[in-house]
């Protein structure tokens, strides 16, 4: 009976020690959240560590995450961090049961890791960003020390001596301060919950000004409005992508673990660097008061695989970027300019490198303030984002932009270029089958095959369809809006029973045929023909 009682008590004590570790970790995160409200929300440990993990993840792994988790990749990362921290906390609690001071020191190490991650972020404001993690870990370390003390008894408070023979004595087990542990653990859980709730509330209040500033925006009428979308640009085919992508459905691919919410009233944009004769600074209102252009532009992410979803079309309104650069005295390299690269910096520290020549060659590159008739949604870059037709987003579509620096490709590599992506990335000629879906089971007879094709800033001239290994047949093209938009197509297929492979390819207006060669997205975008396999009943 004594042996059974000792074993049961030991198991109970180990369970409570593991729980102590979890409580210490929870308290650390809660206090850090509260402190981050006084520093800035981005300095909280989960956000900082998650951002640092994203920065240090190889391009191939990021591409795999986007391919497998899509726009949920950041949620998966956050859940992974929380699970890892929970397992770490459990292990630290068990360690502290035998080595009390070492366990508490391990919590402090966790704080140092979080602080280092926060300070190392590109958007870090300095050492202050490390305070939330450090102060949170101190509270967690003290709490763990106190809770383990209730489990081990006063004779165990002298140091890191492991349990001796007394650990197996019934009278030692009877020396637990059970009541003290329950009171301390309950109080810690309640206080941590309150601290975390207050921290989240304060951090959410810091974004309320940004929300209010967006709600107060009334977009001016553009000085150069977009022409009406041709009636024939949208085909009446069930299953095809809409010509204009609704804001709520527009793809999102970026590295921001938490979507930045920037107050338009305090936002500033600086233009400076090599070849700039006069540094410029603009407020949001400054941009709204300038002549605005409105254009139909299709954007595409370099992470979009053949047949992938990371492409969308919208009507954008903004300031022509070339006009701002000319005011600053910038000249393109072809006209003797010193700089050949624009480095656009986001409020979250992201950097994108864009060829100066492409921005100033007459295309509708802009600093966009509106999307589909409303101010930019926060997830799409409010208050201002950059976009350049014909270039993949990672070299042109800087969201939450706050700084434009003129430099050269020899002098500076932007974020993704440092991670093995190409310096220059014109969008490749591509096409996609939207309907029928892969592994669909259409009925025999006439089946409408339809989809979209794109070659931004060049336009689509022809789309062809092949059934199995048969000849290529021309598809019917919807009306082209502009060379900067995607183009819908359809093909009435006389489907016969059995399994079939449908393949599509496009030709752009320069005469370039979409290549059959299949490549991955790294380093400059995927290529290859899109195919779907169906079974006709």
**Nearest alpha-carbon partner for 31 in 200, 206, 183, 184:** 200
pLDDT tens across 311-333, in order? 999 999 999 999 999 999 999 99
pLDDT, tens digit (0-9, with 9 covering 90-100), for 436-465: 999 999 999 999 999 999 999 999 999 999
Q: Is residue 222 part of a domain?
A: no
Query: Distance between CA atoms of 508 and 233, rounded to whole angstroms?
Result: 17
Domain with residue 262: its CATH number is: 3.90.420.10
pLDDT at 170 over 60: no
- What residues form DSSP beta bridges with 163? none
- Judge whether residue 261 has pLDDT over 90: yes
For residue 2, is pLDDT > 60? no
Percent of the chain topping pLDDT 90: 72
Final residue belonging to a domain, choices 361, 390, 419: 419
Domain-located, residue 227: no
Over the stretch 198-228, which tens digit does the pLDDT of each residue have? Answer: 988 888 877 888 999 999 999 999 999 999 9
Given this model, what pLDDT does residue 54 score? 74
Same domain, 236 and 155: no
pLDDT of residue 9: 65
Q: What is the pLDDT of residue 58?
A: 75
Q: Taking all residues of the chain, what is their mean pLDDT, rounded to a whole number? A: 90
Residues 154 and 81 in one domain: yes
At 74-97, the pLDDT tens digits run 777 778 878 888 898 899 999 999
Question: Which residues in 18-101 belong to E strands, given as ranges?
Answer: none
What does pTM read for this prediction?
0.83
- For residue 174, the model assigns a pLDDT of 46
Residues 402 and 310 in one domain: yes
482: its two tokens:
């502009």
The residues facing 352 across adjacent strands are: 344
69: Cβ contacts below 8 Å, ≥ 6 apart: 75, 76
Q: What is the pLDDT of residues 378-400, one digit of tens each?
A: 999 999 999 999 999 999 999 99
Each residue's pLDDT tens digit, 81-139: 788 888 988 999 999 998 999 999 999 998 898 898 889 887 778 889 899 999 999 99
What's the pLDDT tens digit per position in 171-188? 344 456 788 888 999 999
Domain count, the chain: 3
Largest CA distance in the chain: 93
Residue found under tokens 């001596």 = 161
- Same domain, residue pair 105 and 62: yes
Q: What was the pLDDT predicted at 402?
A: 97
| DSSP string of 306-368, one letter each residue | TT-S-EEEEEEEEEEHHHHHHHTT---GGGT-S--EEEEEETTS-EEEEEHHHHTSSS--EEE
CA distance 383 to 296: 19
Residue 219 forms part of a structural domain:
no
One domain, residues 513 and 493: yes
**Mean pLDDT across 468-496:** 97
Same domain, 60 and 167: yes
Q: What is the model's pLDDT at position 468?
A: 97
Domain ends where: 211, 244, 266? 211
Instruction: Identify whether 424 is part of a domain.
Output: no
The 10s digit of each residue's pLDDT in 396-416 is 999 999 999 999 999 999 999
Same domain membership, residue 335 and residue 195? no
Angle, CA 196 vertex, CA 195 and CA 197 arms, to 5°: 95
pLDDT at residue 154, as a whole number = 56
Q: Are residues 149 and 72 in the same domain?
A: yes
pLDDT computed for residue 8 by the predictor? 58
Co-location of 343 and 306 in the same domain: yes
122 and 144 both lie in a single domain: yes
Handedness of CA 325, 326, 330, 336 (dihedral sign): positive
d(CA 288, CA 214): 13
Decide if 425 is inside a domain.
Answer: no
**Residue 344 confidence (pLDDT):** 98
Distances, alpha carbon 500 to alpha carbons 151, 452, 453, 463, 535, in Å: 68, 20, 22, 19, 6
Cα–Cα distance measured from residue 41 to residue 39, given in angstroms and rounded to the nearest whole number: 7
Q: Are residues 195 and 301 in the same domain?
A: no
Structural domain range at position 351:
232-419
* Residue 87: half-sphere exposure toward Cβ, Cα within 13 Å: 5
pLDDT in tens, 422-435: 999 999 999 999 99
- Is residue 217 in some structural domain? no
Has residue 224 been placed in a domain? no
Which of 419, 443, 467 is a domain's end point?
419
The tokens describing 304, both together, are 């979009």
Domain contains 220: no
pLDDT band of 168, cuts 50, 70, 90: very low
Shared domain check, 64 and 121 = yes
């Amino acid at each position: 009976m004594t042996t059974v009682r000792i074993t049961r008590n030991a198991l109970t004590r180990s369970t409570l020690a593991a729980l102590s570790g979890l409580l210490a970790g929870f308290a650390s995160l809660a206090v850090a959240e509260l402190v981050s409200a006084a520093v800035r929300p981005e300095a909280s440990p989960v956000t900082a560590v998650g951002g640092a993990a994203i920065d240090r993840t190889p391009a191939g792994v990021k591409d795999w995450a986007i391919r497998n988790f899509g726009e949920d990749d950041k949620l998966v990362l956050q859940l992974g961090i929380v699970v890892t921290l929970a397992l770490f906390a459990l292990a630290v609690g068990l360690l502290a049961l035998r080595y009390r001071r070492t366990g508490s020191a391990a919590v402090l190490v966790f704080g140092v890791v979080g602080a280092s991650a926060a300070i190392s972020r590109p958007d870090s404001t300095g050492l202050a960003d490390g305070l939330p993690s450090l102060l949170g870990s101190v509270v967690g370390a003290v709490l763990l020390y106190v809770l383990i003390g209730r489990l081990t008894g006063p004779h165990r408070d002298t140091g890191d001596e492991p349990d001796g023979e007394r650990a197996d004595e019934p009278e030692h087990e009877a020396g637990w301060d059970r009541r003290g542990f329950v009171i301390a653990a309950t109080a810690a859980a309640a206080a941590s919950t309150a601290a975390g709730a207050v921290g989240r509330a304060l951090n959410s209040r810091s974004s309320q000004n940004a929300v209010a500033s967006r709600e107060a925006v009334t977009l001016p009428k553009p000085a150069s409005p977009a022409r009406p979308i041709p009636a024939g640009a949208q085909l009446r085919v069930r299953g095809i992508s809409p010509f204009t992508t609704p804001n709520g459905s527009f793809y999102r691919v970026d590295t921001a673990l938490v979507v930045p919410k920037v107050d338009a009233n305090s936002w500033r944009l600086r233009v400076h660097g090599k070849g700039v004769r006069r540094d410029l600074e603009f407020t949001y209102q400054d941009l709204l008061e300038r002549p605005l252009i409105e254009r139909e532009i299709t954007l595409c992410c370099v992470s979009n695989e053949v047949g992938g979803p990371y492409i969308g079309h919208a009507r954008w309104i903004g300031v022509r970027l070339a006009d701002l650069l000319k005011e600053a005295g910038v000249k393109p390299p072809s006209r003797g300019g010193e700089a050949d690269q624009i480095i656009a910096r986001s409020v979250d520290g992201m950097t994108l490198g864009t060829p100066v020549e492409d921005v100033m060659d007459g295309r509708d590159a802009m600093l966009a303030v509106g999307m589909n008739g409303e101010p930019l949604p926060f997830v799409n870059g409010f208050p201002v984002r950059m976009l350049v037709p014909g270039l993949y987003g990672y070299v042109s579509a800087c969201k939450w932009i706050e700084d434009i620096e003129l430099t050269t490709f020899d002098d500076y590599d932007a974020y993704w270029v440092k991670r093995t992506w190409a310096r220059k990335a014109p969008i490749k000629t591509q096409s996609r089958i939207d309907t029928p879906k892969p592994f669909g089971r259409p009925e025999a007879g006439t089946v409408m095959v339809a989809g979209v094709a794109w070659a931004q800033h060049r336009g689509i001239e022809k789309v062809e369809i092949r059934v199995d290994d048969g000849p290529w047949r021309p598809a019917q093209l919807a009306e082209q809006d502009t060379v900067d938009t995607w183009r819908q197509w359809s093909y009435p297929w006389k489907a016969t029973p059995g399994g079939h492979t449908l393949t599509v390819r496009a030709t752009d207006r320069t005469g370039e045929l979409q290549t059959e060669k299949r490549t991955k997205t790294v380093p400059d975008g995927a290529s290859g023909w899109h195919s779907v396999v169906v079974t006709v009943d």
